[in-house]
Chains A and B, each alone.
Chain A
Amino acid sequence: MASSLETISLSHLPLMPVHVALYRNIQNAAFLKGQLLAGDTEFEYAFIDASMVLSRAHATAAVFRAVNDYMHNRLKSRNVHSEIVFSLNPTNNIAESFRRFGITDSTKDLLVVKVSVSPEITHESVAAHLESSVQGTPVLFDDQTLSEISDINKIKKAYKLGALPSPTAKENDEAKQRLENSLLSAIALRGS
């Protein structure tokens, strides 16, 4: 299977390319989580439970916040990759952010993010390593695919947005835009 790793040059952060891959039906979630907990630097990734991600804009907002904080030396967690998971959380509790947004043993759909913080981290190196270590079906990282994966009720609960109307399947949905905008502002404002 051809690699589905996408390399994004985030606006305003051209010096820090971001590599993103989305997988469905992950077979070895427990192993990946174990490597992460063991602090294996080979496995320094942001492993995100994709059911907690609403859209591309939602994920990239968290990446932007983490990378911007990294560039200005104010990470609250261990490295920029753990910070991406933490950035998704609306509150300042790091452990909670991993429970809610990070990989768990039961994670079925996984979003993997790796930031090129050093020149050795390239599209090729990340693609090769993921290919050999993640057992799952690579899929496109786009809003269409994410809409099939995201668990709206869990996301609303994590952001305490239960009162908001739930998005429906139709395109250009106002409720989805409102929910997305609410998530983005929560990410931007965390800790203010």
Chain B
Amino acid sequence: MEEFKPPPLPSPFNNTTPPPALLTQGAEAHLYKTISLNPSIPAALKVRPSKPYRHPILDRRLTRQRITSEARCLAKLIREGVSVPAVLALDWEGHGGTEGGWGGAWLMMEWIDGPVVRVVLEQWEAWMKQNQGSLDSSQIENEEARVRGLLRKMGSAIGVLHKAGVVHGDLTTSNLMLRPSAGASDAVDGTGSPSMEGDVVLIDFGLASQSNQDEDRAVDLYVLERAIGSTHPRSEPMFGELIMGYRDSYKGAVSALKRLEDVRMRGRKRSMLG
């Protein structure tokens, strides 16, 4: 069997001690955990390698556009005080010229501690399934109230994002994290139902864009609704709570939610007919 070799890291991260650790890999980017300029504070490093099958000039332009658009969205949200990772450093130019050089780009961001919401909901659903026989109705009520609280916080975080004039473009429960409040210990032990305390932090703005249109906002919500429906069946009936959290978070929410009704009828893509 051929051993998996992660792609070589761009300079200067080929000099980093300890070397950045590859966490995940998508179609466009690799995500590493590394250290920030202060070595005691971790950082996330998103590397967009160049695509060898594209024409080198086009490749650099696309890579540059995408990484700078992501960083610009984050910078705007940071200024607005939205819960997103801070931008620590950025390089869109690659190095070594178009021939034989490195045409990729990288973005170093604040490391966000905590699980993604997908894991929290998965753990909760598994725990509920395992324990439903032994829970009385008030305990079930209580558990569902905790999830509703989380969904409300998620809705509110998305509202604050939209209020700032940015749409995410790829909202799933994997792109929402739950950062435990500073100083809070793990409230629940390994066998209990997962903690839902903390701040919801939005991550991965690789497909985000600046927009104030109801249509784009509604599509954000619709994509998340569909994602929750397919991955978290037990939480789906409580999606209304997310909508409530969203509605209360900014003024334009009501018209975006009205648009969501239309989007639900027809799906994410607008009809190009007529």
Contact B35 A11 (CB under 8 A): yes
In the complex, which residues of chain B have a beta carbon less than 8 angstroms from the beta carbon of A64? 37, 89
Do A72 and B86 contact each other (CB < 8 Å), given the known contacts A12-B16, A192-B68? no
In the complex, which residues of chain B have a beta carbon less than 8 angstroms from the beta carbon of A68? 12, 89, 91
- Residue A27 CB within 8 A of the other chain: no
What per-residue 1/0 map shows which CB atoms of A38-70 lie under 8 Å from chain B? 000000000000000000110011001100100
A80 to chain B, nearest CB (A): 14
Do A185 and B78 contact each other (CB < 8 Å), given the known contacts A60-B37, A64-B89? yes
Contact A10 B95 (CB under 8 A): no
Partner of A192, one of B17, B72, B182: B72
- Residue B140 CB within 8 A of the other chain: no
Contact A189 B68 (CB under 8 A): yes
B40 to chain A, nearest CB (A): 10
Residue with the highest number of chain A CB atoms closer than 10 Å, among B37, B39, B182: B37
Partner of B79, one of A15, A57, A71, A182: A182
Residue of A nearest to B78 (CB): A181
With the chains together, A188 CA to B89 CA distance in Å?
A: 5
In the complex, which residues of chain A have a beta carbon less than 8 angstroms from the beta carbon of B92? 192
Contact B12 A13 (CB under 8 A): yes
What per-residue 1/0 map shows which CB atoms of A170-192 lie under 8 Å from chain B? 00100000100110111011001
Contact A186 B15 (CB under 8 A): no
Do A11 and B38 contact each other (CB < 8 Å), given the known contacts A68-B91, A181-B78, A182-B79? yes
Contact A184 B88 (CB under 8 A): yes
Residue of B nearest to A59 (CB): B37
Contact B88 A61 (CB under 8 A): yes
- Residue A75 CB within 8 A of the other chain: no
In the complex, which residues of chain B have a beta carbon less than 8 angstroms from the beta carbon of A13? 12, 15
Count of interface residues, chain A, beta-carbon cutoff 8 Å: 29
Contact A178 B37 (CB under 8 A): no
Do A189 and B12 contact each other (CB < 8 Å), given the known contacts A61-B88, A68-B91? no
In the complex, which residues of chain B have a beta carbon less than 8 angstroms from the beta carbon of A65? 89
| B81-109 contacts to A (CB < 8 Å) | 81, 86-93, 95, 108
- Residue B236 CB within 8 A of the other chain: no
| A-B contacts, 27 listed (Cβ < 8 Å) | A11-B16, A11-B39, A56-B38, A57-B37, A60-B38, A61-B88, A64-B89, A65-B89, A72-B95, A164-B79, A178-B78, A181-B110, A182-B75, A182-B78, A182-B79, A184-B89, A185-B87, A188-B75, A188-B87, A188-B88, A188-B89, A188-B108, A189-B71, A192-B71, A192-B72, A192-B90, A192-B92
Where the two chains meet, the residues of B that have a C-beta atom closer than 8 Å to any C-beta of A are 11-13, 15-17, 34-39, 68, 71-72, 74-75, 78-79, 81, 86-93, 95, 108, 110, 182
Pairs of residues from A and B, 9 with the lowest C-beta to C-beta distance, nearest first: A185-B75, A181-B86, A185-B87, A188-B90, A192-B68, A72-B95, A12-B12, A60-B37, A181-B78
